[in-house]
Amino acid sequence: MSLITLEFFAFFLAVTVVYYLLPGKIQWVWLLAAGLFFYYKNADTVQCLIFVLFLSVNYLASLKMTEESAHPKAAFRTALIFDVMMPMVMKYSGFFFGIYEWITHLFGHKANASLAYHYINIIERLCPPRISYFALIVIGYITDVYWGRVKVQKNPGKFVLFASFFPQMTSGPIVQYEQMDGKLWGSRHNLSYSRLISGLERVLWGIFKKLVISERLSVIVNEIYGCYEIYPGFYIPFAAACFAFQLYTDFSGLMDIVLGLSEILGIYLPENFNTPFYSVSLAEFWRRWHITLGEWLKSYVFYAVQQTEAFRKLRKFCKKKLGKGYEKKYNIPQYLGLLISWFLIGLWHGGGWNYIFGVGLYMGVIIILGELCKPILAWLVTLLHINTETFSYTLFKRVRTFFIFIFGLSFFRAETLREGLRMWKSAFSLFNPWIFFDRSIYQLGLNEHEFHILLFSLLILLTVSVIEHRREIREGKAEAGCMDECRKVISSQNYVFRLALFVILFIMIITWGYYGSEYNSSDFIYGRF
């Protein structure tokens, strides 16, 4: 049951009506029942049983981490190993077996691959949907309980509701317990007209981004990536740029739907995007893109790794060999921690070297090089008398960041790392910028009319992003949640104008949206995780 189906909207309408009719004390029970039903509709019986086992192990382990427990460390380590190994075994067995095959081949041995992949396919079919998201949410919870940041949730129903609130179980955002404690239970949520309209506006905007923009871009991306041998030269960076906007409108559109539905229920989830294409560096880009994943890794991986005994010894060694101020020039412990975090980001996105390189190590290395090259860049700015306060210089940094990002992201879409490298090799095999002027791009699956609809829709997206970005310009700092700025502008207008605006948006979705017999409503890119 995907979020963009009549079945889901009927389900959500029923959930919402009953939810607001119930007393406040049991509203959370209804949300729990709705979440379990939603998960049941998206998984088979065995997957549901494994999911129940997963939650049960973590709930029981969290109870053993209280002050009264005799072995809190053992309970934490057991749950942590279980949470890490479940997605590793059930989702990435094929990837790790491929590494094993390669190693054994080097020593002249041959593994029984056919039998192994038979069992791997069985295991992967048993993998509960969205287990990667559940694992991160629950790992964060048991870590906070073990560290004493939050109190253990002794009510099993509330624990399950936190881990599986049904709008966010599709693809996030990745919430932390302290962000949700008190929102899902504790006080009655009353129906609010302003909140209902605001949530519906956001849902409609998310559907527009998904069906009108992302699905059209996917036609171009699939055509070039599927036959990249016959599309050399400038077709490759064009496809990479299209995929960046396809992924953004797909994933941020999904987040708009999730956050809008939650807002209707009176539950505000953390933002996951904040106009990332305004970023002037790759590090800033990833603070604006998939925000909750970055915050999770910073809280539970990067800082945790820095506090280990090995990294403490490494800092002492660096201080002894490089001097007290080594952090300003060569902060080796921090850079190593970043590489570990980025490796895990790549691995989390998928069991393949294209993910580990493209959205993992490549991004980490570029960010580290950016830190190391700051003195050189400052010297060049002084030497060339560049005014860094001008719009042109800011625009240059944004364009530079965009192209650095889409190069790595292109491997996310490629089937393998080798295929991604071959694509970029073909990009430099022919100089053909005329494809943007001789109507060649109209032969990539979208005719001229469809392409003009895409351009007009992207112009609407740009206009909204400019409005969203106004708060940052006004306040001089980036902050998540700037989607509210656009809705504030709309809410300040006359009722007739607001009604006309969203009637037009609804008509554009109906007339321009990609759906029908060939459309896969569950095909959100990040839904696979």
pLDDT at 63 over 60: yes
pLDDT at 358 over 50: yes
Write down the pLDDT at residue 480: 45
Radius of gyration of the chain (CA): 25
Tell me if the bond preceding 173 is cis, omega within 30° of 0. Answer: yes
Mean local confidence (pLDDT), 76-93 = 89
Sign of CA dihedral 491, 493, 496, 498: negative
Q: Which of 110-119, 407-416, 470-479 shows the highest mean pLDDT?
A: 407-416
Per the CB < 8 A criterion, the answer to whether 131 and 87 are in contact is yes
DSSP H helices in 275-416: 282-288, 291-297, 303-306, 309-322, 326-329, 332-349, 353-356, 362-372, 374-383, 391-413
pLDDT at 158 over 90: yes
209 closest CA partner among 169, 166, 162, 258? 258
pLDDT at 519 over 60: no
348 closest CA partner among 311, 308, 296, 299? 296
C-alpha–C-alpha distance, residues 111 and 437, integer Å: 53
Write down the pLDDT at residue 483: 61
Q: What rounded mean pLDDT belongs to the chain? A: 87
Chain mean position to CA 253: 11
Q: At what angle do helices 448-475 and 495-512 cross, to 10 degrees?
A: 140
Mean local confidence (pLDDT), 346-356 = 88
Per the CB < 8 A criterion, the answer to whether 529 and 351 are in contact is no
Write down the pLDDT at residue 340: 92
pLDDT band at residue 70 under the 50/70/90 scheme: low
Write down the pLDDT at residue 104: 81
Write down the pLDDT at residue 68: 67
Write down the pLDDT at residue 52: 92
pLDDT at 71 over 90: no
Write down the pLDDT at residue 243: 96
The residue with tokens 């060049």 is 380
Write down the pLDDT at residue 255: 93
C-alpha–C-alpha distance, residues 506 and 450, integer Å: 18
Mean local confidence (pLDDT), 365-373 = 91
Write down the pLDDT at residue 524: 67
Mean local confidence (pLDDT), 20-47 = 91
Residues of the chain above pLDDT 70, percent? 93
3-class SS of residue 383:
helix
pLDDT tens digit sequence for 271-330? 999 989 999 999 999 999 999 999 999 999 988 888 888 888 888 888 887 777 766 677
Per the CB < 8 A criterion, the answer to whether 371 and 360 are in contact is no
Question: Which of residues 65 and 247 earns the better pLDDT score?
Answer: 247
Q: CA 390, 392, 395, 397: dihedral to nearest 10 degrees?
A: -80
pLDDT at 516 over 80: no
Q: Any idea which of 106-110, 116-120, 285-289, 474-478 has the lowest mean pLDDT?
A: 474-478
pLDDT band at residue 396 under the 50/70/90 scheme: very high
pLDDT at 517 over 60: no
Write down the pLDDT at residue 111: 66
218 CB burial (10 A radius; 0-12, 13-18, 19+) = buried
pLDDT band at residue 72 under the 50/70/90 scheme: confident
Per the CB < 8 A criterion, the answer to whether 210 and 461 are in contact is no
pLDDT at 44 over 80: yes
Write down the pLDDT at residue 28: 93
Q: pTM for the full model?
A: 0.91
pLDDT at 143 over 50: yes
Q: Which of 110-114, 465-469, 477-481 shows the highest mean pLDDT?
A: 465-469
pLDDT tens digit sequence for 252-276? 999 999 999 999 999 999 999 998 9
- Reduce the secondary structure of 406-420 to three states and give it as a string: HHHHHHHHCCCHHHH
Write down the pLDDT at residue 256: 93
Write down the pLDDT at residue 321: 77
